[in-house]
Chain A
Amino acid sequence: MLARIDAVATTDVALSVSNLTVSLPPGMEREHAVENLSFDLKRGQILCIIGESGSGKSVTANAIMGLLPKVIRVTGGAMELDGRSIMGLPVDELRSLRGRIVSMIFQDPLSALNPLMTVGEQITEVMAAHGVGTPESRRSRAIEMLTEVGLPDPPLMYLQYPFRLSGGQRQRVMIAMALVLEPTILIADEPTTALDVTTQAQILALIRDIQRRKGMSVMFITHDFGVVAEIADSVVVMEKGHIVEQGSSDQVLKSPTHPYTQRLIAAVPRLAAADRTHLKLADKEPILKVEGLVKTYRSGSALFRTQRVVAAVKDVSFHLMPGRTLGIVGESGSGKSSLGRLLIKLMDSDAGLVEFKGLDIAPLSEGDFRHLRPSIQMIFQDPFASLNPRSTIGHILTVGPVAHGMPYAQASEEARALLYHVGLDAGAFDRFPHEFSGGQRQRVGIARALMFKPKLLIADEAVSALDVSIQAQILQLLDQIQRETGVSMVFITHDLRVASQICDEIAVMQKGRIVEHGPPSQIFLNPQSAYTRELVAAIPGERPASARPVAANL
């Protein structure tokens, strides 16, 4: 066993931060990344730091770890780890604390492991770097850790390369790596944000479990109040580099005092128990009818028998009435995005029917489909990547309609009107995407899709990249647009809570099939399939009467 080398702590505070100020280089949007930050992480507790993007929560974590980029410097305050100050410590002494006294796990387990080293090498490397053990003892300790974090077949796992593992497994490897030297403090920077909801529940349960067993102190950074409700003992709420509220988990969640906290909590999408009221349109014919849709991906070569066949969409059928919204919900790999791409013909289907206003568009050639493209539009997930950084907003909005024959003067007039309509000022027309925030860019993305006066909008994870408060605004905008224009929507998302906000009906997909289809009230309160029940139960922080929380149930 590894003995803890440091002096026995004298206080019940594992990590103490007081008046921490971190400066940003000149020319950034604000002078300080965080200013006058003070909080304590009590021994054996989980402290959640919650805030939206840009609130300075990751900067705080990196400042404690000594991992800030050179241009961002700690300019004031004090930090104490285990009762001793780490301010101004020589580089080598700081380094010897990392991984031994304080460890960190990161958001994206897919990129946080070195692709060229085996899992075992990466874990034993921590021990070797701190001069702990012999090669044999390190190996057995690593396998012990792999067992402890619940990975299957640890001796085999030890020899695996990261690319062979799923996201959840990689995050378990990260946890094993971070905890191998039994640090006093674990800093977790959004460790479950990139994971599916069921995997998230498992990882949260694992962290909570290990923390309790070892009496470890955890600083847990998140943007999700559901996660806070699930694991936090105490909470720090951050906004634009300042702490606006802190207290026990119960106190902050149930009776927040600061208006920002109140707004954040109000913006958290909740499972809507009541179904949405929708427009009564005279049109009784479905605008979109999908029957027996199939898409299979093939890779490799049939000739050399190395072909791999993955059925992305298997026999999917549904129909969508005008003015309604259908939610397609599923975890990664469920085929929901493939389905979206089939509907807009970014990809050809292998079998089945896609009837748009009574016409089967599945077999149409690109040329024949072209005149229908304006009627079916897409809103993309990443508002940063989906707008060409070299084009003005005006160009982005008008280029499509002009290509379809609209005179430029008319297109630009309509574009300005739409920008106003989606909540941007008309001056946005001449500006470039980088001048806008994520939420504003998504508004541009919506305006771009609306330029064609579409009959059907496909929104693929359209709010997933946004902060909750922005998310709520965009959902409201989509709802308002639907009520005004009667456009139908297919809303693809991994987030059941978001789907419950905006959808009239929800189809739950698993491994390419729709396993359950019904109004939100049925899906959430009375789920019929086992998979839907599992999904609903895994939603962090929600306690529908029928569902047992997974994380509390080890």
Chain B
Amino acid sequence: MRSFLINRLFQSLVLLVIVSIIGFGVLNLIPGGPMAQYGLDPGMTQDDLARITEQLGLNRPLWVQYFDWAWRLLQGDWGHSFRDGVPVLDVIGRHIFATLLLMGSSTAIAIAVGTWIGIRSATHRYSIFDYAATVGAMVALSIPTFWFGLVGIYVFALELKWLPAGNMYAIGDASPLDYLHHLILPSIVLALVHIAIWSRYMRSATLDAISQEYVKTARAKGLSERRVILKHVVGNALLPMITLAGIQLPSILTGALVTETVFTWPGMGRLFLDSLGYSDYPVVMGLLMFSAILVILGSLVADVVLAIVDPRIRLA
């Protein structure tokens, strides 16, 4: 286990370096850039621009800029936003709660609902429920998230007036109940596509497990069908799903990008889009590194969890 962790840690570091190089390179290849943003200000003279370029160190060769940025990062200095000079970590910190709240609740919904649909589809294969779930998953996968968001806002906020159309809390309220009220629509919309994916995988994992010999053994023991499914089928079917969860977790972050924009949710997805618009490279790079770390953590946690729940790995 220890050697496995050390090994993974090393792989992760290499991966982070590669991600940062590609990210840094691509970002600086985009036409425009921070100086073009400053140039939009009519009060700026050529001299001012040159001075700012000098100050931000943007006149140095790209690789020097990269190593400078990377060296500071290693020392815990993620840089300062070009826009308002606030440290990048502070900027991320201001938005992280909103995103984690949305991600967490929609992940919980996706896993709970997806698992249930998947198991029921498998135990009632070729039933009306199974066909409905198959068609439903196809629909959820083929229609973009923003469309569900807009339709959701139109139906539940504008027409029925049950739910707020956007934002994380109402100004002047911000009680937990108010947060919850605002959370319902975006978290369900964000969860839809993941329910679709999760339920399909869960269905096939359950079918795999159901056809195993030990399930036949369980039936031959005289266990009730309910116990056969819950104890012998589901436990084994969930094992491959743990790995899937690790891979899926970061993709919920990218899904949040769209959802947060549609619902004006003050999270990291919107921060990313805004920062790109302003060519705020330090913040964009910070967010990029942050999500790369999240990806790595996701699959690492999945592997560790798998090792804990599967005795064949835990005790081997």
Contact = CB atoms under 8 A, between A and B. Distances in A.
A3 B280 CA distance: 79
Contacts of B231: 117, 125
A98 to B, nearest CB: 4
B214 A113 contact: yes
A127 to B, nearest CB: 10
B235 interface: yes
B61 interface: no
A164 B315 contact: yes
A117 B311 CA distance: 9
A164 B6 CA distance: 26
B221 A99 contact: yes
A320 B6 CA distance: 49
A161 interface: yes
B269 to A, nearest CB: 38
Interface in A81-135: 95-100, 103-104, 106, 108, 111-117, 125-126, 129-130
Given A115-B214, A161-B315, A98 B3 contact: no
Given A111-B212, A112-B213, A103 B311 contact: no
Given A67-B216, A98-B221, A106-B217, A116 B227 contact: no
A248 B236 CA distance: 44
Interface stretch (A22-30, A268-276, A300-308, A447-455): A300-308
Nearest to A300: B3
B214 A111 contact: yes
A108 B217 CA distance: 11
Given A111-B212, A112-B213, A112-B214, A67 B3 contact: no
A98 B231 CA distance: 18
B219 A129 contact: no
Given A115-B236, A116-B235, A129 B222 contact: yes
Interface string B204-247: 00000000111011111111100100011001100100000000
A164 B232 CA distance: 19
A67 B223 CA distance: 12
B220 A129 contact: no
Contact of A116 (B3, B219, B220, B310): B310
Interface in B271-316: 309-312, 315-316
B213 A99 contact: no
Contacts of B235: 114, 116
Nearest to A126: B221
A70 to B, nearest CB: 10
A65 interface: yes
A262 B3 CA distance: 61
A57 B209 CA distance: 25
A202 B306 CA distance: 36
B187 to A, nearest CB: 31
Interface residues of A, number: 34
A130 B223 CA distance: 8
A114 B222 contact: no
B214 A114 contact: yes
A108 B221 contact: no
Given A163-B312, A306-B3, A113 B217 contact: yes
A174 B217 contact: yes
Nearest to A306: B3
Q: Which among B218, B224, B236, B310 has the highest number of chain A CB atoms within 10 Å?
A: B218
Interface in A286-325: 300-301, 303-304, 306
A67 B221 contact: no
B208 to A, nearest CB: 12
A95 B315 contact: no
A125 B217 CA distance: 12
Interface string B36-60: 0000000000000000000000000
A111 B213 contact: yes
B236 A65 contact: no
Contacts of A48: none
Nearest to B239: A116
A278 B290 CA distance: 73
A98 B312 contact: no
Nearest to A130: B222
Contacts of B236: 114-116
B219 A67 contact: yes
Contacts of A300: 3
A177 interface: yes
A177 B311 CA distance: 21
Q: Which among A67, A113, A117 has the highest number of chain B CB atoms within 10 Å?
A: A117
B220 A99 contact: yes
Contacts of A125: 221, 223, 231
Interface string B1-34: 0110010000000000000000000000000000
Contacts of A174: 217
A129 B310 CA distance: 24
A104 B220 contact: yes
Given A114-B236, A116-B310, A304-B2, A129 B217 contact: no
A98 B232 CA distance: 17
Given A161-B315, A306-B3, A100 B222 contact: yes
A69 to B, nearest CB: 10
B224 A129 contact: yes
Interface string B113-141: 00000000000000000000000000000
Given A113-B214, A116-B235, A304-B3, A129 B312 contact: no
Given A99-B220, A99-B222, 10 more contacts: A65-B220, A95-B222, A113-B214, A116-B235, A116-B236, A129-B221, A129-B223, A130-B222, A177-B221, A304-B2
23 contacts: A67-B219, A95-B222, A96-B222, A98-B222, A103-B220, A106-B220, A111-B214, A112-B213, A112-B216, A112-B217, A113-B214, A114-B232, A115-B236, A115-B310, A116-B310, A116-B311, A125-B221, A129-B227, A163-B312, A163-B316, A164-B315, A174-B217, A304-B6
Interface of B: 2-3, 6, 212-214, 216-224, 227, 231-232, 235-236, 239, 309-312, 315-316
Interface of A: 65, 67, 95-100, 103-104, 106, 108, 111-117, 125-126, 129-130, 161, 163-164, 174, 177-178, 300-301, 303-304, 306
Closest 3 CB pairs of A and B: A99-B222, A304-B3, A98-B222
